[in-house]
């Protein structure tokens, strides 16, 4: 892992949640800090703590990233300071049905904060990094960067933007010493759900959410290693793996279950788990069918089938067991409530996945 002690990092959303935990890690490793958040009072308090505890230099910038002028204002205030690492952590969301329950002004502010200001800050500081041929950028994506996100549709769309944007500019920077990493956590035990008006949903249960310190640690290590992205948490890795092989409507159904109020979610949750298991079986069957079509096709069609198979396997190749284990765990937790044998269902799904994967891989050799 690259050591950048003494370098300067700019962190948005630095006063709470994952952003605060990332700030802790940078400070402990001796990085100087430029801390950005909406509350100037909170910023000054934590900046003083870091100076006294770790002996690092700090700068605070009170700025609301929902303001279209925020990125330029932040950049102007840091002129004369070399920003070696940029961490775009700040984000917000809102809970509710897009067509009938949410407010457009709030959603436009979410897009500005999560996507537009993130892109603008990256533009400004990436230019300087390229000129120096040195720098690191961390973007906060999400598990829902690859999932439809019912009941937080705009938030989910901004996170899909972050993932696509991050991977694209990383490719553009391959001939430089500037790296871009996307951190993709699942639901995390922060104040995000409370601020979004979603503290009452199943997915916000503190017992089922990740520790922000652990999420930050995975993101920090991936950033320092120059990785393209990291999905924080083993369970989230399985879910993201399934997102590459299951159809979007089925994925949306699973996420919608997590976004259902806790007292209404039991029946929908059971239905979603069984649907996901069946969906995995369908994907296995499709892969097997693709294999047989490939074996009987013309040379031209073989190229087409091979491309489709590679695309499907990219999400399945190293993840079928993890995906099956994830669904198996969900079903076992509902044992006695579902009119199927959880173990038998998942064992058959896992077996179908492994057989389909082996068949397609053999054909592609």
DSSP secondary structure letters along 206-251:
GGGSBPHHHHHHHHHHHHHHT-SEEE-SHHHHHHHHHHTTS-HHHH
pLDDT band at 277 (very low <50, low <70, confident <90, very high): low
pTM of the full structure: 0.75
Q: How far apart are CA 205 and CA 150, in angstroms?
A: 18
Q: How far apart are CA 61 and CA 275, in angstroms?
A: 47
**pLDDT higher than threshold 70 for residue 314:** no
The DSSP 8-state label assigned to residue 84 in this structure reads -
pLDDT band at 318 (very low <50, low <70, confident <90, very high): very low
pLDDT, tens digit, 9 for 90 and up, residues 287-312: 555 555 555 556 656 565 556 556 55
Mean pLDDT over residues 219-233, rounded?
94
Lowest mean pLDDT among 54-58, 167-171, 255-259, 330-334: 330-334
- What is the reported pLDDT for 303? 61
- What is the reported pLDDT for 289? 54
Q: How far apart are CA 119 and CA 97, in angstroms?
A: 27
- What is the reported pLDDT for 281? 52
Task: Tell me the chain's radius of gyration from C-alpha atoms.
Answer: 22
CB atoms within 10 A of CB 279: 21
CA distances from 35 to 58, 83, 137 (A): 7, 12, 15
pLDDT, tens digit, 9 for 90 and up, residues 140-180: 999 999 999 999 999 999 999 999 999 999 999 999 999 99
Residues 6+ apart with CB under 8 A from 106: 94
- Please, what is the average pLDDT of the chain? 81
CA distances from 283 to 118, 233, 280, 290, 351 (A): 36, 24, 5, 10, 12
User: If DSSP states are collapsed to H, E and C, what string results for 251-291?
Assistant: HHHHHHHHCCEHHHCHHHHHHHHHHHHHHHHHHHHHHHHHH
Q: Which of 155, 291, 294, 305 is catalytic?
A: 155
Q: Is 220 a catalytic residue?
A: no
Percent of the chain with pLDDT over 90: 55
Residues 6+ apart with CB under 8 A from 67: 73, 112
Percent of the chain with pLDDT over 70: 70
> Where do the H-state alpha helices sit in 65-199?
70-77, 104-111, 117-132, 153-172, 192-196
Give the homologous superfamily in CATH for domain 8-232.
NAD(P)-binding Rossmann-like Domain (3.40.50.720)
């Amino acid at each position: 892992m690259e050591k950048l002690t003494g370098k300067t990092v700019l962190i948005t959303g630095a006063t709470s949640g994952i952003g605060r935990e990332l700030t802790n890690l940078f400070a402990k490793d001796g990085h100087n800090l430029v801390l950005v958040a909406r509350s100037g009072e909170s910023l000054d308090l934590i900046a003083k703590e870091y100076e006294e505890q770790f002996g690092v230099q700090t700068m605070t910038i009170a700025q609301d990233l929902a303001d279209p002028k925020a990125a330029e204002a932040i950049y102007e205030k840091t002129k004369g300071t070399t920003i070696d690492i940029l961490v775009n952590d700040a984000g917000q969301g809102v809970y509710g049905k897009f067509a009938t329950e949410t407010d457009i002004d709030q959603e436009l502010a979410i897009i500005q904060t999560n996507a537009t200001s993130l892109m603008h800050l990256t533009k400004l500081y990436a230019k300087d990094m390229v000129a120096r041929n040195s720098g690191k950028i961390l973007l906060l994506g999400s598990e829902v960067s690859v999932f439809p996100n019912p009941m937080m549709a705009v938030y989910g769309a901004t996170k899909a933007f972050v993932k696509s944007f991050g991977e694209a500019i990383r490719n553009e920077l391959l001939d430089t010493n500037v790296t871009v990493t996307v951190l993709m956590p699942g639901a995390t035990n922060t104040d995000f759900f409370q601020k979004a008006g979603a503290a009452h949903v199943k997915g916000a249960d503190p017992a089922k959410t990740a520790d922000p310190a652990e999420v930050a640690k995975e993101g920090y290590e991936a950033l320092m290693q120059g990785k393209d992205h990291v999905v924080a948490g083993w369970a989230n890795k399985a879910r993201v793996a399934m997102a590459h092989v299951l159809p979007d409507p089925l994925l949306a159904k699973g996420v919608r279950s997590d976004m259902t109020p806790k007292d209404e979610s039991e029946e929908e949750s059971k239905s979603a788990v069984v649907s996901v298991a069946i969906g995995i079986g369908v994907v296995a069957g499709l892969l097997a069918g693709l294999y047989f079509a490939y074996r009987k096709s013309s040379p031209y069609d073989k190229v087409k089938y091979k491309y489709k198979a590679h695309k499907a396997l990219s999400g399945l190749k190293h993840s079928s067991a993890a995906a099956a284990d994830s669904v198996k765990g969900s079903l076992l937790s509902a044992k006695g409530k579902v009119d199927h044998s959880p173990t038998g269902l998942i064992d058959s799904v896992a077996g179908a996945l492994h057989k389909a994967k082996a068949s397609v891989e053999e054909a592609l050799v």
